[in-house]
Amino acid sequence: MDATIKSIRPNKPSDRQPESRPAELDPSEFLAAAVRADQPRPARAEAEQAVKTLLAYIGENTNREGLLDTPRRVVEAFDELYQGYHQCPAEVLDRTFGETAGYDDFVLVRDIEFTSQCEHHMMPFYGKAHIAYTPVERVVGLSKLARLTDIFARRLQTQEHMTAQIAAAIDEILKPRGVAVLIEAEHTCMSVRGVAKHGASTFTSRFTGMFRDNPAEQARFLSLVRGLQR
């Protein structure tokens, strides 16, 4: 008996879904500090007790000498690692400079080192961010792009979300002709647990404006990031 094979691909061009651009982020995610002054939070003593509970959960004796001060140290480390919740991205990019002598090309800051924490396992991921933008008349101090990266890195999220937030913040606040962000990182949730693949790198990118619409500008950005690397 003959069998009929049917194609699973659409037969008509009209059946294809139109290409869509990335969804825009809610400005409240990147224009203000993530923690409001009136937001209820546990007391420090409660946070330290939670650490003590986790130590007991893994089987530790929380009364042994080496762990007596660990809950306090962990909470202090959290205050440092997650300080991005209390910092405002809009304030970092607020001051700009107009003395550019008519400069009309993009500005690239490469190899911005960062360490962040994955929201899925609360384990570190670390690497480098490469950020470019094409200013309109005014530019921002170069160190501000590194500070912006640190603000989002010092919050719980995914690398994908962090990439999108950095690009969206620059796009919304500076309103340049385009933004390009490329992040490369190693995730310890994959290198020291689970599949335990040491050295595996994850790359994420986000392009807006001229970088999104002009493949030649994307290629030039990537060439400068990769071609000049060590």
Q: Which residues pair with 76 in a beta bridge?
A: none
CB atoms within 10 A of CB 39: 8
In a domain, 171, yes or no: yes
Q: Which of 162, 163, 142 is nearest to 154 (CA)?
A: 162
Name the domain boundary from 81, 107, 136: 81
Active-site residue 159, yes or no? yes
> 46, 76, 120, 137: which one is catalytic?
120
> 117, 118, 172, 218: which one is catalytic?
118
Q: Which residues pair with 138 in a beta bridge?
A: 136
β-strand pairing of 107-118 with 156-157: parallel
Active-site residue 119, yes or no? yes
Q: Tell me the C-alpha distance between 34 and 79, whole Å.
A: 14
Active-site residue 165, yes or no? no
User: Do 109 and 210 lie in a common domain?
Assistant: yes
> 48, 187, 217, 218: which one is catalytic?
187
Report the chain (230 residues): mean pLDDT per 10 consecutive residues: 43 50 64 76 96 98 97 97 92 88 91 96 95 94 96 95 95 95 93 81 96 96 80
User: Do 77 and 110 lie in a common domain?
Assistant: no
> 24, 76, 113, 119: which one is catalytic?
119
> 159, 165, 217, 218: which one is catalytic?
159
Mean residue pLDDT across the chain: 87
In a domain, 22, yes or no: no
The range of the structural domain enclosing residue 114 comes to 96-227
The pLDDT score that the predictor gives to residue 70 is: 98
The pLDDT score that the predictor gives to residue 6 is: 41
Give the number of C-alpha atoms closer than 13 A to the C-alpha of residue 140, restricted to the C-beta side.
Answer: 26
Phi, psi dihedrals of residue 109, rounded to the nearest 5°: -115, 120
Structure tokens of 142?
């170069």
How many separate domains does the chain show?
Answer: 2
Q: State the helix-helix crossing angle for 142-153 and 159-174, rounded to 10 degrees.
A: 140
Active-site residue 121, yes or no? yes
User: Do 108 and 211 lie in a common domain?
Assistant: yes
Q: What is the tens place of the pLDDT at every residue in 112-143? A: 999 999 999 999 999 999 999 999 988 999 99
With contact defined as beta carbons under 8 Å apart, do 165 and 114 qualify?
no
